[in-house]
Amino acid sequence: MQSNQQDNYWQNESETTDEVTEMYTPTPDADEVPSDKNTPESNPESATSDSDPVHWVATEYIHQEKNGLWFVLFAIVVLVFIASDILFLKSYTFSVLVVVMAVSVVIYSRRPPREIEYTLSGDQGLYVGEKLYHFSEFKSFGVIRDHQHNSVMLVPIKRFAPGVSVYFPEEVGEKIVDILGARLPMNILKLDAIDVIIRKLRL
């Protein structure tokens, strides 16, 4: 008699356990559901990597050391202009202007270039320090290679507006060209005659 009751007891417990298991079978949480990591929705970093801003630090211009011979030749050129003014033009205003320009050039040539932080954002534009240049201000861009130095120039839409030229290290050059190329046409640019003279004079 006890044996039959014991069998019925285990049978009833088993049936009860099955009912509880069926009623409370947990559903997988949203965090546990596997997702395809290759899709843009599941991996937003890969989807926005092309529009990530580029940061770099470069000098505002290439500083070239000037020796004593350069200053001697520069002084001779200044004296020639002043002498020509006194002998032929007889306009002392021109002589004063030459002296002022000569002093400015000497001060500028001895000033070391500043380190400037640049940020190129595909959504906004080019930050030079804290100043923002929007893409809408330019019609094209070009890359200039000057020996071991690389710079990018943004050509303005306005006719007499100055272009924006910045130097950049080679490791970020490809990313810079990709961002600019997606928003502006790229042109082949070369140094003009004034730029060549300035570099020859080491200004």
pLDDT digits (tens, 9 = 90+) for 92-110: 888 899 999 999 888 877 7
Q: Tell me the average pLDDT across 71-86.
A: 89
pLDDT at 131 over 60: yes
The confidence score (pLDDT) of residue 126 equals 94
pLDDT at 6 over 80: no
pLDDT at 44 over 50: no
The confidence score (pLDDT) of residue 15 equals 46
The band of 146, judged by pLDDT with boundaries at 50, 70 and 90, is confident
pLDDT at 203 over 80: no
Q: Which CATH architecture has domain 53-58+68-200?
A: Roll (2.30)
The structural domains of the chain, with segments of one domain joined by +, span 53-58+68-200
pTM: 0.58
Comparing 12 with 84, the larger pLDDT belongs to: 84
The confidence score (pLDDT) of residue 171 equals 92
Comparing 111 with 48, the larger pLDDT belongs to: 111
φ/ψ of residue 202, rounded to 5: 60, 40
Q: Tell me the average pLDDT across 112-126.
A: 89
pLDDT at 16 over 50: no
Q: Tell me the average pLDDT across 41-66.
A: 68
